Chains A and B, each alone.
Chain A
Amino acid sequence: MIGLEIHAQITALNSKLFCSCRGNYRDLRPNSNICEICCGLPGSLPIINQKAIEYSTMTSIALGCKVPDKIMFYRKNYFYPDLPKNFQITQYNVYGISSIGIDGKYELDEAKQIRISRIQLEEDPGRIVYSEGGMNVGNTALIDYNRAGVALIEIVTEPDFTSPKEVRQFLNKLSLTLEHLGVCDTLLEGSVRCDVNVSMNGGNKVEIKNINSFKEVEKAINYEITRQSSVYNRNLNIELETRHWDDKKKITFKARSKEEEHDYRYFPEPDIPVIVLGSDFVANLKQRMPELPNQRFERFILKYKLSEHTSNILINDKKLADFFESTLKLHFSPTEIANILVTDFKSLIEDDTESTDYLKNLKVKPEHIAELAKLIEGNKISRITAKDILVKIFESGKLPSEVVNSSNSYKIADEKTIMDAVQSVFDTEKSAVEDAKKNREAINFLLGKVMKFTNGRADPKIAMRLINSKLSDPEKQ
């Protein structure tokens, strides 16, 4: 049984959860993105961010959770040098509903659903780096509060996963959903953290903390399952414990135990009154919120009449789907454009999908693809030519029409020219011609030769017709 506890930063926010410092703290000089509030200076008070409530509610809706009419914040009290107030403002449901989403369900596939226990809003602590490299004995802490106070959404699942593969599937879908909502860019460094708990054969739960990206999660779980299995094989018991994932050594190791750590002395945050969302809040938000992946999928099939297969490819890559719809605005030909994008276009961008901006930096824009589609549909160029054109415009950024003009790639539709090509092929491929008379399949070989002869420009339909007529007319050979 495997359960997840995910912390995702709301990277979409401009400011932090309780103050107006920058929400994106990356690449800034240490302690240059702070104020009285996020530093916990005496007398400072938290001021809750409206947009954070919106984004976390959207996430709750997307994960099938119930959203209460009123929410509250609680203090989680513990001491640590990265925590400016020595308490964290978070949400807590033990004394009554306080968090932004509870009791949700998320569909993994047709066969399985994962139950979402709760979704809550809370603040990120600062970061401790260590002088001289590691958290070893004797090294002083160097503390940077730039990240302190950044908004986090915590998503906790029930232990419904039964394999690392399911976890990976879930995390992929979740990333896609978060991306569609615009809430969290999971490719940004440090934007997601995941804790996992693993228990096998009804044994004790082992919690694994400190997994800093979704990609590492599957590896950590695999390692832990192997480790636990070997412990069981030696007839030993698994202890209830917390372990850390070391992403350099790729192992889990036992964390130092902190005995009194678990009494967090939760109580309601007095500086933030109960926040009334109102009974219409969720309904209004549902109308305004961005389209979810499964909604977009349905729409692509219904509105654009795309196949499920093609739609799937597009939906799973939001930036590609966005590119697709931008192109449609310029030229409404869904099937043709989708086809170009999911085959040739996709293979050209395959290597770059890791970077957050990968489509933005391309020289090819929707205008290019729109024009390309028009040229194909207008029978001005053949599909084969189109493939080459695509490569060229990827490199140069020139419009397809420019490229076609300069390389003289227009389709040949003129029968005489094609006839000359056919004649030429018939003259050189005499044995193939004989084959073709008996075997209809061999005609394709001849067609291929004609296309090659014309650099792919011949209109295949016309060429085929002329080949067929020549074959059946003994005099024309």
Chain B
Amino acid sequence: MISKEDLEHLALISRINLTENELEKFPKQLDKTIEYIDILEELASDDSINLDLQELRFEELRIDEISLSDDKQLNKNITDDGFLRGPKMK
């Protein structure tokens, strides 16, 4: 059962504010989803099967070379010195 406190905690660790409406209806909706996925409990916990979809061999990895990008990746809130202006820290 997801309580309002549980929901608020999840919202905090996910950094998402919920509207009043959402705080009302989410507990029940999330409960139903969790109930739905609870069926996974029936599966055993044995880890002997592990089919990773892919493997990368060491030889295939990226060579350590510099390649500079000349696109301007950051466009908003840039100071004259080039810093990104962020929010207050305290």
Contacts and interface: CB of A to CB of B under 8 A. Distances in A.
Direct contact of A and B (CB under 8 A): yes
Given A31-B82, A129-B83, A138-B90, A39 B73 contact: yes
A273 B52 contact: yes
B25 interface: no
Interface in A122-140: 128-130, 135-140
Contacts of A50: 58, 61-64
Contacts of A13: 64
Interface of A is mostly: loop
B79 interface: yes
B2 interface: no
Contacts, number: 135
Q: How large is the interface on B (under 10, 10 to 19, 20 to 34, 35 or more residues)?
A: 35 or more
B83 A15 contact: no
Contact of A276 (B58, B67, B71): B58
Contact of A142 (B57, B58, B67, B83): B83
B89 A275 contact: no
A284 B43 CA distance: 42
A48 B82 contact: no
A130 B89 CA distance: 9
B66 A15 contact: yes
B56 interface: yes
Q: Chain A, interface size: which category?
A: 35 or more
A217 B50 CA distance: 43
Interface in B5-60: 9, 12-13, 15, 47, 52-58
B73 A128 contact: no
A48 B58 CA distance: 10
A47 B74 CA distance: 21
A30 interface: yes
B1 interface: no
Contacts of B79: 142
- Among A36, A128, A273, find the residue whose CB has the most chain B CB atoms closer than 10 A: A273
Given A50-B58, A130-B89, A260-B12, A29 B64 contact: no
Interface of A: 13-15, 20-23, 29-32, 34-36, 39, 41, 47-53, 70, 79, 81, 96, 128-130, 135-145, 260, 263, 265, 272-278, 281
Given A35-B68, A274-B54, 13 more contacts: A14-B66, A15-B65, A15-B66, A21-B69, A22-B66, A34-B74, A39-B74, A50-B62, A79-B15, A137-B88, A140-B89, A142-B83, A145-B84
